[in-house]
Structure 1
Amino acid sequence: MVVYQKHLLKLAKEMETETKHFESLKLEDEFNQLKQIGLIGDSLDKINAAETKFNKIIKEELPQLNSILMSVENSSNSFNILKTRDSSDEAQNLLEKIATELDDVEETLNKTFKLAREHRTAVSDLENRYKSLRKLLLTKNGDFGPALDALEERLSSIEETFDDFSNLTKQGDHANAEKILVDLNHATVNLEDMVKAIPALYQENHVKFDNQLNEITEAYQKMRSEGFAFEDDDFEISLKELRQSVNDNIINIEHLDIEFVKDQDSQINKRINDLYEKMEVQINARKKVDKSIKQIGKFIEHAYYQNKALSDELEQLSHNYSLEHGEIQITQQLGNKINSIGKQHETDLNSINDGNAIYTRIAKNLETFKTELTTIEKKQMALNDSISEFSAEEKKAHQILNDLNAELHAIQRKIENLNLPGISDDYVDYFGVVADEINHLSSTMNKVKISMDAVQKQLEQIKSDRDTLQEKTDDLIDQSILAEQVMQYANRYVGNALEIDVALAKAKDFFDHKFRYADSLATIANAVDKVEPGAYQKIEDRYYDNKAKSTKK
C-alpha cells in the first residue's frame, strides 16, 4: 500500500509539472495579433472558436485539474487508496483532454498565420506574374496571331478571380481565399504555358509550314517540267489537304486548343517530310540513272553481239560435232533474256524522253539489268570455253588413239618374241576386246559428226582395259620365263628325285600343251623348294633384278 501510494503521488507530481507548462503558454498575444490582421468569415470563426476553447482551458479546465491533483496529494497521506486512485485517473484523463485541445488551438493558430503569410506572398507574386503576362501580350502581340484576343480574355478572367482572392486576403478570410488560390494557381500556370507555347506553334503553322508547302509546290512543278514522274502521284491532293490542315490549326490556335494543335502539327510535319523524301528519292535515283544508263546500254549491246557470235559458232560446230549439253538451247534462252532486257530498257528510255520517268523504278531496273547481264556474260564465257576445246580435244583424242594402237602392237610383239608354244584363250580374248575397243573408237572419230562425250567415254574405258591387258601381259611374260628357268634348274635333279621327275613332267604338260604358264611355274617351284628349300626364291630374285636393270637401260 505504501509503495502504491508513492507511485500515485509521483504521477501527481508529474502531472502537476505538465499543468504548469500549460499555464505558462501565452497564446493571448497570438490571438491579439490575428485580431489586428482583421480576420473575417471562416478564418475568423475558426480563430474565435480556438480562443473560446483556450479560455475555457485556462479559466476552467486547468483550475479543475489543479484541484484534482491537490486532492490526490492530500488523500495519498491516508489509507483511502481507492479514492486516491480514482482521483489520479480522473486527473490523467483531464490532462490528456487539455493537451489534445491545446494542440488543436496551436495548430489553428499556426495554420492561420501560415495562410496569412502565404496569401500575402501569393498576392504579390501573382500580381507580378499578371503584369508580366499583360506586358508580353502587349509588346509581342504579333507572336500570338489569332490567339491574342482569347489570351487577353483568359488573362482578364484570371485577374478578376485574383481580385476576389486579393480582397479575401486583405479582409482576413484566409480559409475561403485558400479555396480560390488552388484554382487560381492552376489557371495562371496554364495561361503561362500557353503564352510560352503559342508563339512557336503559330510560327510553325503560319510561317514554317506555309513556306514548306510553297517550296514543295514549286519544287514539284519544276521536277515535273524536268521530266520527273512519281509512283502513285498524290502531291496535288496532299498539298491541298495539308494547306487545309494548317488553316484548321490556325483556328485551333485561336481557340487555344494547344494539345490538339501539337498533335496536328506532328501529323502535318510527318506528311510534309514524306513529300520531301519522295522528291529527294527521285532526285537521287536520277543521279544514279544518269551515271549508269549509257553503260547498261553498251552492256546490253555487247551481250547481244556476244550471243550472236556464240550462236553462229555453235551452228558451225554442229556440222562436225554432236552438241550434247544443250549448248544451242542455252544460247537461245540467253538471247531471249537479252531481248527482254533490251525491250524494258528501251521502255525506260522512252519514258525519259517523254518526260514521264519514274527514276526510282528505272534505277531499280538498271541494277537488275546489271546483275542479270553479268550472269549472262559468265554463262556465255563458260559456253565459249567449252566449245573452243572441241578441236583440241579431238586432236588429243586422235593422238591417244594412235598411242593406244602403238601400245597394242608393242604388246603383240613382246608376246611373239617369247616364242611360246601358245597363248591361253582368256588372254587372247582380252587382247581382242581391247583391239575391238580401239577399232570402235577409230570408227567413232571418223564419223562426219563426232560426239566428244562418246569419244571421252570410250577413251576412259580403253585406258582402263589397256592397263589390265598390260598387267596380264607382264604376268604372262614373268610366269613363262620363270617357269622355263625353274624347269632348267630342276633338270639337275632328274633321276635323283622322284618328286622332281613327276613335277617336271606335269609342269611341261602345263607349259607345252595347255599354255597354263602360272600353273606350270607353281608346280615346278613347289617341287624344287621341297628338294632344295629357298631355291625358287633365289631364281625369282635374280630374274626381277635382271629385269629391273634391263628396264633402266
Structure 2
Amino acid sequence: MSVTFTDILFAIVVIFLVISGIVFFMKTQRTKEVRELENRKDEMMTVSIADQLFTLKNMELSGQTKRKYESLVATWQTLTNYQFTEIESTIIIAEQYIDQMKLIKAKNAMNEATDLLESTEIEVNELHDELTKLIDVTESNQVRYESLLERYNTSRKNIMNHSFDYGPAIETLEKNLQYLELNFTRYNELMSEGDYLEAQDMLGKTDSDLSTLEEILEKLPKMYSKITSEYEENLEDIAQGYKRMEESKFKFDDVHVLERVDEIQERLNEAKTHIKNADLAEAQTLMDKSERDINAMYDFLQAEIDAKEAVQGLMHQLTQSLAQIKDDNRYTTIEVDRIAQSYVLHDNQEDRIANITENIQRDQEEFAQLIQEVKEHEAIYTKVLQRLKRIEKRIDEYLTQQQGIIQSLASLSQREKDAKSNLDLFELDLRNMKRRLEKQHLPGLSQSFYDKFYLVTDQIEYMSKELNRVQVDMNEVEALEQDLAENMATLEEMAEEYIDNATLTEYMIQHSNRFRYDIPEMEQAIREAEFLFYEQFRYGEALNVIEKALYRVDREGPTQVRRMYQQEKQHRIY
C-alpha cells in the first residue's frame, strides 16, 4: 500500500493541531496561575497596616513605644518599597514570557514570584500582629493595672489591720507598700507620656513585687508565731527540764545543755531579724536548723531519762544473771574435773572453762563498779546502759559456751557405751564366723584369710584394753573401732566367699560324676578341681574349672546346681 501526498499532508495538519492544542492549554494554565498570584498579592496588600500605622502616629508615642513604632514603620517601608515592587515585577515578567510563548521561563518566573510572595506574606502578617498588640497595649495595660491596684489595696488593708501579726517586720512591709506606690506612679507617668511598652514592663515589675509581698504576708505571721510560740517555748522547756534533771543528780558528760540553748536562741533572734527585713528564705533556713537542734536536745535529755529506767531494771536482772551464770560455771567446772578423771579430753574444755571463770570475775567487778557509780550519782545513764548491755551479751555467750562443754562431756559416756556394745558384737560375729567355717569341714584356708583373722582378733583385744583404761581416749577408741569394722566386713566377705565356692565346688563335682567315666575331659577336670580344692585351698579356681567343664557337657547343669544351692542357703538363713 503506497502513501500519497494527501495522506502526508493530512498527518502534518493533525500533528500541528495537536501541538497547537497543547501549547494553547499550557498558555491558558500559566495565565490562570498568574491571575492567582496577582489575587494573592492584592489580598496581602489589603491588610490594614497603613491604617494601623496612622492610628499609632496620632497617639503621640514616646520612649520605648515610639522606638518600637519607628522600627515597625521602617519594616513596612521595606516591604512596600522593595518586596511588593519585586513581586509585581516578577509577575509582569512571567506574563511577558507567556505572551512570547516562552512557557518554561514563564514557569520559573512564577516559581520565583511564589517564593517572594510566601515570605512577604509571613512578614506582613507578623507586622500586622505586632501593630495590633501595640495598639491594644493601652487597653491591656489598663486592665492589668486595675487588677494589680486591687491586689495592692487588699495587701495594704491586710497590713494596716493586722500590724500586730507581723511583729517587727511591719516597717519593712510598709516600705514595700511605698515602693509599690512609686511603681504605680511611674506607670501612670509612662502612660501619660505615651510610652506604653515601658509602662507594660513597669506593670510586670509591679506584679512580681506584689506577688513577693503577698507571699510574705502569707508566710510571715506563721513563721514569727512558730518562733515565739513553739521554738522559744521549747527552749524554755528544755532549760527547765535540764535544771530538774541536774537536781535529780543526772550527769551529762561534756554536753553543755544551757549553752546549746543559748546558741539556738541566738540563731532564732537572727531569724527574727531576717523576718523583719522580709528575707524569708534565710529566716526559714535558720528556723529549720534550730528545729533540728531542738529535736536533738529533746532526744538527748529523753535518752538519759529512758536510760535511767532501763539501767535500774537491767541491774536487777544482771544481779540474778551473774549469780546464776557463776553457779552454772561452778557446776560445769566440777563436771569437767569429774569427766577428766575417766576420759581424755581433746576439746580443751579445762582451759575453756577456766577462761570463762576469769571473764565472769571481770564482769562482776565491772558490774560492781557501775552499781557504785549509780549509788554515788556519778553515772551517765546512757553510757552505763551500754556497758550493762555488753555484760548481758557476754553472759549469754558464757551460757552458750557452758552448754557446749556440758554436751560434749555428756556424749563421752554414751560413746563409751556404744563402743563397748560394738566390741561385744565384733567378738560375737567372729565366734559365729569361726563356727560356720568349722561346720564346713574345709581342708584348709588361705594365708591371707588367716592374716586378716588374726589382725581382727588382735584389734578386738587392743580395743578391749583401751576401753578398760583409767582414762579412756574415745577419739582413739572410735578410730580403732572404725578400722576394726572395715577389717571385720572384709573378713566376713572372705569367709562367705570361701563357704560359697567350696560348697558349690563339691555340688558341681557330685553333679559331674555321672559323666567322668564316659568323657575323659570331665575326669581330668574333676581331678584338677580336687587338686585345687584339697591341696591348695583355692576354692574359687576349683569352682571355675569344674563349672566350665560341666557347662561343656551339660549346659543347664551349672545353673541347676547354683539354683539348688541358693535355695538351700536361703532356707538355712531363715
Same fold (TM over 0.5): yes
- CA-to-aligned-CA distance 1:333-391 (integer Å, 9 cap, x gap): 44455555555555555554454555555555566555554454344333322211222
Q: Deviations over 1:49-92 (max 9, x none)?
A: 99xx9xxxxxxxxxxxxxxxxxxxxxxxxxxxxxxxxxxxxxxx
Q: Which residue is 1:445 aligned to?
A: 467
Residue of 156, 166, 180 corresponding to 1:144? 166
- 1:401 matched residue in structure 2: 423
TM-score computed with the length of structure 2 as normaliser: 0.67
C-alpha displacement of 1:275 = 2.2
**1-side partners of 2:187 and 2:515: how far apart?**
153
CA 1:350–1:170: 2 relative to 1, 3 Å: farther
| Cα distance change on mapping 1:154 and 1:539 into 2, 3 Å | closer
1:464 equivalent in structure 2: 486
| Cα distance change of structure 1 residues 146 and 428 upon mapping to structure 2, 3 Å threshold | same
Give, in angstroms, the shift of residue 319 of structure 1. Answer: 1.2
Amino acid of the structure 2 residue aligned with 1:271: D
- Within the alignment, does 1:517 sit opposite 2:539 as a pair? yes
Pairing 1:54-453 to 2, within 5 Å after superposition:
115=138, 135-156=157-178, 159=181, 187-226=209-248, 229=251, 233-283=255-305, 294-336=316-358, 338-339=360-361, 342=364, 345-346=367-368, 349-355=371-377, 357-361=379-383, 373-453=395-475
Letter of the 2:436 counterpart: K
| Letter aligned with residue 261 of structure 2 | L
Deviation at 1:195, TM superposition (A): 3.8
| C-alpha deviation, 1:300, in angstroms | 4.2
Q: Secondary structure at 1:319's aligned position in 2?
A: helix
The answer (yes or no) to whether the contact 1:206–1:250 under 8 Å persists in 2 is: no
Structure 1 length-normalised TM? 0.69
CA distance in 2 between partners of 1:161 and 1:543 (Å): 127
Q: Which stretch shows the higher mean deviation, 407-416 or 130-139?
A: 130-139
Tell me whether 1:551 sits opposite 2:573 in the alignment.
yes
Change (3 A) 1:484 1:215: same
- Alignment partner of 1:542 is 2:544: no
Deviation at 1:279, TM superposition (A): 3.4
The 1-side partners of 2:501 and 2:152 are apart by 130
How far did 1:321 drift?
0.5
Structure 1 CA distance, aligned partners of 2:280 and 2:371?
Answer: 51
SS in 2 for 1:390: helix
Please name the residue that 2:109 is paired with.
none
Displacement, 1:318? 1.0
CA RMSD of aligned residues (A): 4.9
Deviation at 1:317, TM superposition (A): 1.0
Q: 1:490 to 1:268 in 2, by over 3 A?
A: closer
**Residues 227 and 352, structure 1, Cα contact 8 Å, conserved in 2:** no
CA contact (8 A) 2:52 2:132 kept: no
Write out per-residue CA displacement over residues 146-195 of structure 1, whole angstroms, 9 at most, x where no aligned residue: 23334345545655665676688799998997786666555555444444
Compute the displacement of 1:419 (Å). 3.6
Pairwise mapping of residues 24-39 of structure 1 onto structure 2 (< 5 A)?
A: none
1:182 & 1:547 partners in 2: Cα distance?
117
Q: 1: CA distance between counterparts of 2:170 and 2:52?
A: 56
Contact 1:120/1:169, CA 8 A, preserved across alignment: no
Q: Does the 8 Å contact 1:112/1:174 carry over to 2?
A: no
Counterpart CA distance in 2 for 1:516 and 1:306 is 66
Partners of 1:399 and 1:512 lie apart in 2 by 39
- Amino acid aligned to 2:476: A
- The one-letter code sitting in structure 2 at the alignment partner of 1:322 is V
Q: Distance in 2 between matches of 1:164 and 1:284?
A: 65
Letter in 2 for 1:549: H
What residue identity is the alignment partner of 1:243? Q
The SS at the match of 2:341 is coil
Contact 1:123 1:166 survives alignment (8 Å): no
Give the conservation status (yes or no) of the 8 Å contact 1:253–1:261: yes
Q: Which runs of 5+ in 1 are unaligned?
A: 1-6, 54-103
Amino acid at match of 1:270: R
Structure 2 segments unaligned to the other structure (5+ residues):
1-33, 74-126
Worse overlay, 127-136 or 296-305: 127-136
SS of the counterpart of 1:543? helix
Among all aligned residue pairs of Structure 1 and Structure 2, give the percentage whose two residues are the same amino acid: 22
Query: 1:477 aligns to what?
Result: 499
**Count of residue pairs brought into register by the alignment:** 483
Given that residues 169 and 278 in structure 2 are in contact (C-alpha distance below 8 angstroms), is that contact kept between their aligned partners in structure 1?
yes
User: Which shifted more, 364-373 or 377-386?
Assistant: 364-373
CA distance in 1, matches of 2:53, 2:397: 103
How far residue 137 of structure 1 moved from its aligned partner, in angstroms, is: 4.2
* 1:210 counterpart letter in structure 2: E
Letter in 2 for 1:272: I
Tell me if structure 1 keeps the 8 A contact 2:56–2:135. no
- Which amino acid letter does the alignment assign opposite residue 460 of structure 1? Q
Kept in 1: contact 2:275–2:283 (CA 8 A):
yes
Please state whether the residue corresponding to 1:514 is helix, strand or coil: coil
8 Å Cα contact 2:52-2:131 kept in structure 1: no
